Amino acid sequence: GAVVSQHPSRVICKSGTSVKIECRSLDFQATTMFWYRQFPKQSLMLMATSNEGSKATYEQGVEKDKFLINHASLTLSTLTVTSAHPEDSSFYICSARGQGTGELFFGEGSRLTVL
Amino acid sequence: GEDVEQSLFLSVREGDSSVINCTYTDSSSTYLYWYKQEPGAGLQLLTYIFSNMDMKQDQRLTVLLNKKDKHLSLRIADTQTGDSAIYFCAAGGSARQLTFGSGTQLTVLP
């Protein structure tokens, strides 16, 4: 089946630094990608929808200047957490929607720890 | 908007069948998905069903859809310890992103 790859799977950074997480669709072109945040033992919270070649659409309450999303190609979307703080520590998951059926496939997730 | 509800916990004995239930509110949702999440990992698509179907079977997995009641269930036959995970139900349309339930923690007891 379709594969979505996220990198890095784990990252630890110091407070105030920026961290970039990549989401790639490996065997299909993804016109739309989604970024989620998941707190321990909770469901996924949709952060933003990114469409190739246009600006991301952010959900209410998500700071677009803090969580920069770029979807520069049909196979790559990036999420940059700028000036990270300990409260940004979380599990970030991306998903990609292929053309046609609209199935959503998820990456393995990236665990961010901000010290 | 869409609201998806699931029970939080389910425990079964190894070898028994597991049934995880889910309800949704938006009758226009055409795609109904089940995902599995193991600790520390992302979501794995298990199976999905379109709203014009009543049932879908895939090896040990059976999905039942009652569109009238907006009720979806996932049955896992011969549940194994490796099936222990969180199972998320999600609903949405082809032009919209999915709405996820809170997840059901399945624990398989030996």
Of B44, B45, B94, the CB nearest to A102: B94
Of A43, A49, A109, the CB nearest to B101: A43
The per-residue pLDDT string of chain A (115 residues; one tens digit each, 9 = 90 and over) reads 568 899 999 999 999 999 999 999 988 888 789 999 988 767 788 899 988 888 899 988 999 999 999 988 889 999 999 999 999 999 999 988 766 656 678 888 899 999 9
Give residue B31's pLDDT band: very low, low, confident or very high (50, 70, 90): confident
Of the candidates A69, A63, A57, A72, the residue with the CA atom closest to the CA atom of residue A20: A69
With tokens 């090896």, the residue in question is B59
Q: Chain B residue closest to A33 (CA)?
A: B97
Is-contact B84 B30, C-beta < 8 A? no
Q: How far apart are CA A77 and CA A6, in angstroms?
A: 10
How many Å is the Cα radius of gyration of chain B?
Answer: 13
**pLDDT (0 to 100) of residue A100:** 63
Chain B residue numbers touching A42 (CB-CB < 8 A): 102-103
Of the candidates B106, B76, B108, the residue with the CA atom closest to the CA atom of residue B88: B106
For residue B95, pLDDT beyond 50: no
Asked if the C-beta of B8 comes within 8 angstroms of chain A's C-beta atoms, the answer is: no
For residue B97, pLDDT beyond 70: no
**pLDDT (0 to 100) of residue B1:** 73
How many Å is the Cα radius of gyration of chain A?
Answer: 13
Rounded to the nearest 10°, the torsion over CA A62, A37, A6, A1 is -110
